[in-house]
Amino acid sequence: MKKPDPVKLADWQIAAALESALKPITQVAREFGLAEREIILMGPHVAKIDPVPLLDRLPRPRGRYVDVTAINPTPFGEGKTTTTLGLVQGLGAGGLSVSGAIRQPSSGPTFNLKGSAAGGGLSQCLPLAPFSLGLTGDIDCVTNANNLAMVALTARMQHERNYDDARLARTRMRRLDIDPARVQMRWAMDFCAQALRSVMIGRGGALDGFEMESGFYISVASEVMAILAVARDLADLRARMGRIVVALDKSGRPVTTADLEVDGAMTAWMVRALQPNLMQSAEGQPMLVHAGPFANLAVGQSSVIADLVGTRLADYHVTESGFGADIGYEKFWNIKCRASGLTPDAVVLVATIRALKLHGGGPAVKPGQPLDAVYTREQVGLVEAGCENLRAHIEIIQRSGIRPVVCLNAFGSDTPAERQVVRRAAEGAGARFAVSDHWLKGGEGARELAEAVVEACRDPHAFAFLSPLDEPLSRRIETLAREIYGADGVDYTVAAQERLAGLEKDPATAALPICMAKTQYSLSHDPARVGRPRGWRLPIRDFLVYGGAGWIVPVAGDIKLMPGTTSDPNFRRIAVDTSTGAVMGIN
C-alpha cells in the first residue's frame, strides 16, 4: 500500500487511508502475547485487556521502560504523543518487540482546539474515530462515578436540612453536618463549558435540593480519573474510591465518599473502565490507551495498569507523560513510579524549533491564531537563546538519575543551522540527541531516535526520588520549587500557611506525595515567564487534598478546571459522510 502524503492531507484523511490496512485487533493481541481469555473484543479494531489473568500469568516485568516528556510547550503542543507513536514505530521498524501507552483524549480538547491527541501524520493511533469519540466509555464511567458522588452529597445535605435526628436514624443515616461553603467536589462534564464553572443549584422548594453555589469541572479533572491512572488493581481502586474528600463538615473535618456510603456504587461504575484499551499504531504495534488525568493539576499520565501490562509483554514499553518535564516527568518520577514500582530505563525529552524560538524571545504564540513568520524562518539566535529552557529540562531528568535522549521533533521549516544549535546544546548538557522525522516518514523516520533510546537503555543509572516522603511537607515543597522549577524559594498566602500547618499536624496526610498545580507553559507559575526564569519565588495560594488519588496539591497560579471553548472550535469542521457513516474532520 502506498503511504499517504502528510504534507498534502489532513490527519483524518491520512488515518482514513491507513485504516484500510489495519490488522484485526485479535491479531494485534496475539502478536503482543495476550491469551484469548485476556482480551474482551469491543469491535474489529478495539479491545479491552483483562489484566487479572495476565498479571497472574506474568507476575514480573521483563521489558525496558521508556518515558516520553518534553520542554515547556507552546499552546499548540510539540508533538509528544506523535513522538511516542513514532518511537514505538521506529523500534518496531528495527525488529524489536514494542508497545506504547498514551492517554485517552477528552472530548473537550477534541471538539475545541487542541485536537484528539491521536498523534499525527504517519504516526497515529488508529482507528481515529473510535479513539477520539469516547472509545469504550471509560470517561463516561468517570463522569458517572463522579456525579453519583455529587448526587449522594447534595441529597444528604437536603435530607439533613429537612429531617430531625430521629428521622435520620430511622433511615440509617448519621448527621454529617456538611459545610456548604466548603464543598470540595464539583459536577463533571467532558466538554469545555466555561458557562458551567460556577452555578447555583437547588433553587426552588424544600424538595428541590440544597441551595448552594456549585459548579462543573471537565471530567478528566475529576479525582476519579486521577484514581484510574494510579490504581494497581480493583482492590486498590475500591480502597481509593472511599477516600475521596467531597467536603468538610462545620468543624473542618473531611467528609468522604465512604461517609456518604456511595464509594461502592462509584466503584461499580469503574470496573470495566479499569481495563486498558488495546489499539494499534499506524504500523501495527500494540498501543494501550488508558486514563487521561489533567497534567497541570493531577498526575498527567496514562495508567499504571497499562504500564504493568506493557512491561510484561514487550521488550520495550514506551509511555507518555503530560506537558513538560517540570510537570509531566516530575510527577511520573515522584508519583507514578512510586505507585507502579516501575522505574525508567530511558527518558525521551521532546523539543521543537518552534518552542525553542518562543523560549528564546519570539513573539507570543496564541491559540487559534496564525503563527508569526519568525517561527517558519531561520532564526538561529532565538533558537540558541531558547536552549536555556531545554537545558533546564535536561537537568530535571538528570536529577532523577537518568541521562535523557533529546528528540528534536522535525518540522519542514527547520534549518540545518538551527538543528545544529540544538544538538550542541543537548550534547553539551550531557544528553544524547536525535532528530526524528516520524510525522513525515513514520517508523523509518524515527530510526535514529529508536537507536538512541536502545543505547540509552544500556546506560548505567541510579534512579532516585526527589525527596523522601518522611521529610516535612514544607521542606519537600521548597526542594521541588528550587531544584526543579528554579525558584529562589516559596511564598504562602496567609490561608495557605494555615492550611499547611494543619496538614503537617496529620502525619499520614503530610507524608503523601506532592502534585503541584501550576501552568504548563513555564518553569514558573506564570505562563508569561518563558525561557528559564531567574529571580522569582513560587507563590502557593491554597492546598487541595486528593485523599483517594493519594497526594497533596499545592496550588500555584490560577488553574481552570473547566476550560473554555475557543471562538473557532474544531467541532465546526467535524462532520459525517452520510453515505458511509465515516467521520470526517477530526484532527
Residues designated catalytic? 80, 82, 103, 114, 295, 323, 411, 439
- DSSP per-residue codes, 394-461: HHHHHHTT---EEEEE--TT--HHHHHHHHHHHHHTT-EEEEE-HHHHGGGGGHHHHHHHHHHHTS--
Among 85, 99, 77, 68, which residue's Cα sits nearest to residue 128?
Answer: 85
Residue 184's identity, in one-letter code, is: Q
Contacts of 125 (CB under 8 A, 6+ apart): 81, 85, 102, 118, 119, 131, 279, 280, 281, 282, 287, 289
Query: Is residue 120 within a helix (H) or strand (E), and if so which, with residue range?
Result: strand 119-120
Give a three-class secondary structure readout of 255-292.
EECCCCCCHHHHHHHHCHHHCCEEEEECCCCEEEECCC
Q: How far is it, in rounded angstroms, from Cα 375 to Cα 354? A: 6
Taking residue 465's Cβ as centre, other Cβ atoms within 10 Å add up to 15
Distance CA 522, CA 125 (A): 29
Spell out a b/e string for 367-380, using b for 16 or more CB atoms within 10 Å of the CB, else e: eeeebeebbeeebe
Burial 115-151 (b: 16+ CB within 10 A, else e): bbbbbbbbbbbbbbbbbbebbbebbbbbbbbbbbbbe
Distance CA 30, CA 95 (A): 17
Residue 351's CB is within 10 A of a number of other CB atoms, namely 30
Q: Answer whether 397's CB lies under 8 Å from 347's CB.
A: yes
Compute the distance between CA of residue 585 and CA of residue 7 in angstroms, rounded to an integer. 16
User: Can you tell me the distance from the alpha carbon of 574 to that of 22, in angstroms, rounded to the nearest whole number?
Assistant: 23
The answer to whether 544 touches 223, Cβ cutoff 8 Å, is no
Q: Using CB atoms within 10 Å of the CB of residue 210, give its burial: 0 to 12 exposed, 13 to 18 middle, 19+ buried.
A: buried
572, three cell numbers? 465546526
Element (H, E) at 248: strand 245-249
For residue 383, give the amino acid letter. V
For residue 97, give every residue at least 6 positions away whose Cβ sits within 8 Å of its Cβ, in sequence order, or none: 63, 314, 315, 316
Please name which of 582, 575, 552, 550 lies closest in space to residue 242, comparing C-alpha atoms: 550
Strand partners, 85: none
Give the whole-angstrom CA distance, residue 561 versus residue 216: 8
